[in-house]
Amino acid sequence: MATIRVPAEVPSPAQDSEAINHAFRGWGTDEKAIIRVLGKRNESQRKKIRESYREIYGKDLIDALTSELSGHFMRAVIQWTYDPAERDARLANKILKEKKKSVEKLKIIVEISCTHSPHHLISVRKAYCSLFDLSLEEHIASSVPFPLAKLLVALATSFRYDKDKVDAEVATIEAAMLREAMTKQQLDHDHVLYIVGTRSVFQLRATFAAYKQEYGNTIDKDVEGCHGDADLRSLLQMVILCIDSPEKHFAKVVYDSIEGFGTDEDTLTRAIVTRAEVDLMKVRGEYFNMYNSSMDNAIIGDVSGDYKDFLLTLLGSKI
Amino acid sequence: MATIRVPAEVPSPAQDSEAINHAFRGWGTDEKAIIRVLGKRNESQRKKIRESYREIYGKDLIDALTSELSGHFMRAVIQWTYDPAERDARLANKILKEKKKSVEKLKIIVEISCTHSPHHLISVRKAYCSLFDLSLEEHIASSVPFPLAKLLVALATSFRYDKDKVDAEVATIEAAMLREAMTKQQLDHDHVLYIVGTRSVFQLRATFAAYKQEYGNTIDKDVEGCHGDADLRSLLQMVILCIDSPEKHFAKVVYDSIEGFGTDEDTLTRAIVTRAEVDLMKVRGEYFNMYNSSMDNAIIGDVSGDYKDFLLTLLGSKI
The arrangement of secondary structure in B84-156, i.e. its CATH architecture, is Orthogonal Bundle (1.10)
Q: Which CATH architecture has domain A85-156?
A: Orthogonal Bundle (1.10)
Contact (CB<8Å) B141/A194: yes
Residues B56, B69: Cα–Cα separation, whole Å: 20
Q: What is the pLDDT of residues A204-222, one digit of tens each?
A: 999 999 999 999 999 999 9
| CATH 1.10.220.10 domain position(s) in chain B | 13-69, 84-156, 168-244, 246-314
Percentage of chain A lying above the pLDDT 90 cut: 93
Q: Is B260 a residue whose pLDDT tops 90?
A: no
Residues in A touching B163 (Cβ below 8 Å): 133
> What is the pLDDT, as a whole number, of residue B2?
85
Q: Is the pLDDT of residue B1 over 90?
A: no
Main-chain dihedrals φ then ψ at residue B133, nearest 5 degrees: 60, 25
Mean pLDDT (whole number) for B234-239: 97
Q: Which residues in chain A have Cβ-Cβ distances shorter than 8 Å to B135? A: 158-161, 198, 200
Q: Which chain A residues are closer than 8 Å to B142 by Cβ?
A: 170, 194, 198
> Which of A138, A162, A200 to probe the B interface (max B CBs under 10 A)?
A138
Q: Write the residue in A125, A149, A162 that is nearest to B159 by C-beta.
A: A125
Return the biggest CA–CA distance within chain A.
67
Nearest by CB: B153 against A141, A160, A194: A194
**Residue range B109-127: mean pLDDT, rounded:** 97
H or E stretch covering A276: none
Instruction: Select from 1.10.760.10, 3.40.50.300, 1.10.10.1150, 1.10.220.10 the CATH code of B168-244.
Output: 1.10.220.10
H-type helices in A98-167, by residue range?
Answer: 103-114, 118-132, 136-143, 148-156
Whether the pLDDT of residue B319 is over 70: the answer is no
Positions in chain A short of pLDDT 50 = none
Check: CB of residue B76 under 8 Å from CB of residue B311. yes
pLDDT digit string, tens, across residues B148-186: 999 999 999 999 999 999 999 999 999 999 999 999 999
Question: Which chain A positions have a beta carbon within 8 Å of B138's beta carbon?
Answer: 160-161, 194, 198-200
CB contact under 8 A, A153 and B194: yes
Closest Cβ–Cβ partner in B125, B142, B160 for A135: B160
Task: Write down the ipTM of this complex.
Answer: 0.90
B246-314 CATH: 1.10.220.10
- By Cβ distance, the residue of B135, B149, B161 closest to A135 is B161
Instruction: Give pLDDT tens digits for A282-308.
Output: 999 999 999 999 999 999 999 999 999
Span(s) in chain A for CATH 1.10.220.10: 13-69, 85-156, 168-244, 246-314
| Residue A319, pLDDT score | 62
CATH of domain A13-69: 1.10.220.10
How does pLDDT run across B77-113, given as a tens digit for each residue? 999 999 999 999 999 999 999 999 999 999 999 999 9
The pLDDT > 90 percentage for chain B reads: 93
- In this structure, the number of other CB atoms found within 10 A of the CB of residue A228 comes to 12
Amino acid at B117: S
Structure confidence at residue B282 (pLDDT): 96
State the nearest Cα–Cα gap between B223 and chain A, in angstroms: 22
